[in-house]
Amino acid sequence: MESSSLGLTFEFMSQQITTLTFFKYPSFGDKLWAFGMMQFAHAPLKKVKGLQFYKLLGSGKENFDPKPDWSVYGLLQVWDNETKAQEFFNRSKLYQRYLNHSSHQLTFYMRSIKAHGLWSKKNPFEASSELDEDNKFISVITRATIKIHMLKKFWDYVPTSQLDLVDNPNLLFTAGVGERPVTQMATFSLWNDARALKKFAYRSQNHRHAVQQTQALQWYKEEMFTRFQPYQITGNWPDFEIPKELT
């Protein structure tokens, strides 16, 4: 809440948006370039105007397998507003280099609904003032740094915790990503309905047991859970059709 010079109060209106872009690299040379950019992209990204927070992400194989998928990388970005995001995607020489090396790109434009926890000791996501009540889609990012001594127990349990996601008709897109292999992991998922997500979260026996295990074993050093309202998806991706409402 903020105060004006007239003594009136008003809610802080956030125009912040978050984008998550996936890139698919076809050749060995392109994969090698993408791997190198996990280090070399930091300097130019730190100079991007209107970029509040970013993370360069590798990805794991399907079904949240911790083994890396060298053909897919991600870029998470939190922006002052959509104008700043569009300036980057339309004019940035860095982004053009990513386009030149990748065969597929897929960008999710999202407004934050709620975020709990910390990512690199901060919560970068501000609740949006521009949510659309008629937009039924919801996306989720969960992120954690796993304690070293809990790594084996955690990864042994992952296949069980994800059983109810396999072939879930309400789950439109999902990916396992991370800043570092094995120890710093995140998941992204796109759902066609918030009620379907809630049903999975609260009624799925395997998921509820995973939450109980998390609370009992305390295997995370740092964690964050975020919900977003996706309002646009651009690009294309193998075996994924963008919902017409989000084009």
Q: CATH top-level class for 14-236?
A: alpha beta
pLDDT score at 63: 60
Q: CA 79 to CA 77: how far, in whole Å?
A: 6
φ and ψ at residue 82, rounded to 5 degrees: -70, -30
Tens digits of per-residue pLDDT, 43-79? 999 999 999 999 999 998 776 666 789 999 999 999 9
Residue-wise pLDDT tens digits, 154-168 = 666 565 556 556 667
CA angle 43, 187, 52 (to 5 degrees): 35
The angle subtended at Cα 56 by Cα 39 and Cα 227, nearest 5°, is: 165
Q: Give the pLDDT of residue 7.
A: 42
Question: d(Cα 85, Cα 17) in Å, to the nearest integer?
Answer: 8
- Give the CA count within 13 Å in the CB-facing half-sphere of 247: 6
CA distance 48 to 43: 9
Report the C-alpha gap between 61 and 59 in whole angstroms.
Answer: 7
Q: What are phi and psi of 121, to 5 degrees?
A: 70, 20
Residue 61 pLDDT: 74
- Other beta carbons less than 10 A from residue 16's beta carbon: 22
Encoded tokens for 18: 């978050």
- pTM, 2 dp: 0.85
- The answer to whether the CB of 105 falls within 8 A of the CB of 18 is no
30 — pLDDT class (breaks 50, 70, 90): very high
* Spatial separation of the C-alpha atoms in residues 14 and 105, rounded to whole Å: 27
